[in-house]
């Protein structure tokens, strides 16, 4: 049984906790949050003990791993603390606000041979995996273009998302999901060009990003986390190839906490023949993600996907997009 401490009891901490609760190989022994009500709420729902700090939890609990779901600017200090205590680490994306900090985290965990995984959950999303399977099987032919969209209203449930020094803008909190998935499918992009609306703090919450991948694949990522109040959370992926096009779209009310009742559609449109809905295994991507992490810890092996290196590349591309938007020029990655 992998014993977990969950740090951060907001939406994502609660989502990860539900995943661990559903996994037969994990047990939550502690919740950490500076807000008493938040930590007590999750203790009441999932068990374990409540703590104000990770130091207190580590001193009191015999945990195997720590799951960190905090504002991005707090990631490094908690990763370092967990790593120096010899705990495996699941870290919610983005890995960091800058590459130097990301590198420091990777060093801290690598030298201690700890399992370190970053929560790029789209790699576990069933419909995205179905499209990747179509691409890998050759049913799309040679992919020519890919389009990804991720939109949400201003995150009033967690105002820190809009603070430039804490979150880094929409591209680091929304668009980085799509960047990471496209990197997984197509490799490291060659060039990045972006344009959008710069807001207070010099960051971008509404951004159009163009990526040129090897083999001539052109991809676009549309990111906006300042949609009007009442706008549905929306994510979309369209991949067009010489033999057909695959498309997935999801619309959920508010944030992803309503994903269970979201409107979704997954379709494959072949160049010849009738459109079909690809078969895929329905599952909660967050539960699949944390179960994969638990399995890595249990087996004592490093993850093959959603690694620190994967997260670093996604961060580098996202930061390059922001730099391109500031300068008005394309940049090499």
CATH of residue 152's domain is 3.30.360.10
Tell me, yes or no, whether 130 lies in a domain: yes
109 and 152 assigned to the same domain: no
Tell me, yes or no, whether 236 lies in a domain: yes
Tell me, yes or no, whether 311 lies in a domain: no
Cα separation, 73 vs 76, in Å, equals 7
172 and 222 assigned to the same domain: yes
93 and 105 assigned to the same domain: yes
76: pLDDT confidence band, cut at 50, 70 and 90? very high
CATH number of the domain encompassing residue 26: 3.40.50.720
Percent of the chain with pLDDT over 90: 86
pLDDT of 280 > 80? The answer is yes
pLDDT of 158 > 80? The answer is no
Q: Which residues contact 240 (CB under 8 A, 6 or more apart)?
A: 140, 143, 144, 145, 146
For 7, the domain range is 2-121+287-304
Compute the average pLDDT of residues 9-30. 97
Tell me, yes or no, whether 309 lies in a domain: no
Compute the average pLDDT of residues 188-193. 98
Compute the average pLDDT of residues 183-198. 96
Higher pLDDT, 152 or 253: 152
Higher pLDDT, 6 or 260: 6
Cα separation, 93 vs 314, in Å, equals 10
128 and 261 assigned to the same domain: yes
321 and 240 assigned to the same domain: yes
So what's the pLDDT on residue 111? 96
154 and 196 assigned to the same domain: yes
134 and 267 assigned to the same domain: yes
pLDDT of 169 > 70? The answer is yes
Compute the average pLDDT of residues 288-302. 97
212 and 295 assigned to the same domain: no
Averaged pLDDT score across all residues of the chain: 94
217 and 84 assigned to the same domain: no
So what's the pLDDT on residue 320? 97
pLDDT of 257 > 70? The answer is no
pLDDT of 68 > 60? The answer is yes
Cα separation, 79 vs 224, in Å, equals 29
173 and 269 assigned to the same domain: yes
137 and 117 assigned to the same domain: no
pLDDT of 161 > 80? The answer is no
167 and 112 assigned to the same domain: no
Tell me, yes or no, whether 61 lies in a domain: yes
Residue 293 has which token pair? 């992490």
pLDDT of 160 > 90? The answer is no
156: pLDDT confidence band, cut at 50, 70 and 90? low
Tell me, yes or no, whether 293 lies in a domain: yes
Residue 310 has which token pair? 């994967």
Compute the average pLDDT of residues 82-90. 98
So what's the pLDDT on residue 262? 77
Number of domains in the chain: 2
pLDDT digits (tens, 9 = 90+) for 201-242: 788 899 999 999 999 999 999 999 889 988 899 999 999 999
Task: Write the DSSP assignment of 192-247 as a string of letters.
Answer: EEEEEEEETTTEEEEEEEEEE-GGG-EEEEEEEEEEPTTPPEEEEEEEEESSEEEE
Higher pLDDT, 7 or 167: 7
């Amino acid at each position: 049984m992998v014993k977990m401490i969950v740090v951060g009891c907001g939406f994502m901490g609660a989502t990860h906790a539900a995943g661990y609760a559903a996994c037969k190989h994990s047990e939550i022994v502690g919740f950490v949050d500076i807000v008493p009500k938040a930590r007590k709420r999750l203790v009441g729902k999932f068990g374990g003990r409540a703590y104000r700090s990770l130091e207190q939890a580590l001193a009191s609990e015999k945990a195997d791993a720590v799951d960190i779901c905090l504002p991005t600017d707090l990631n490094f200090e908690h990763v370092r603390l967990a790593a120096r205590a010899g705990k495996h680490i699941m870290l919610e994306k983005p890995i960091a606000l800058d590459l130097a900090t990301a590198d420091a985290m990777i060093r801290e965990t690598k030298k201690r041979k700890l399992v370190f995984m970053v929560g790029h959950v789209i790699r576990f999303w069933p419909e995205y995996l179905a499209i990747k399977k179509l691409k890998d099987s050759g049913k799309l032919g040679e992919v020519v273009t890919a389009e990804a969209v991720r939109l949400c209203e201003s995150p009033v449930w967690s105002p820190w998302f809009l603070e430039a020094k804490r979150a880094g803008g929409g591209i680091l909190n929304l668009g980085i999901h799509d960047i990471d998935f496209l990197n997984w499918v197509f490799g490291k992009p060659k060039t990045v060009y972006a344009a959008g609306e710069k807001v207070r703090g010099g960051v971008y919450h509404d951004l159009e990003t163009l990526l040129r991948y090897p083999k001539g694949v052109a991809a676009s990522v549309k990111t906006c986390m300042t949609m009007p109040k009442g706008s549905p959370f929306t994510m979309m992926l369209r991949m067009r190839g010489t033999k057909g096009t695959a498309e997935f779209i999801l619309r959920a009310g508010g944030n992803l906490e309503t994903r269970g009742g979201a409107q979704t559609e997954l379709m494959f449109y072949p160049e010849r023949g009738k459109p079909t809905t690809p078969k895929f295994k329905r599952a909660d991507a967050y539960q699949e993600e944390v179960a994969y992490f638990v399995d890595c810890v249990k087996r004592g092996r490093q993850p093959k996907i959603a690694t620190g290196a994967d997260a670093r590349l996604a961060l580098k591309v996202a930061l390059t997009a922001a730099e391109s938007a500031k300068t008005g020029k394309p940049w090499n990655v």
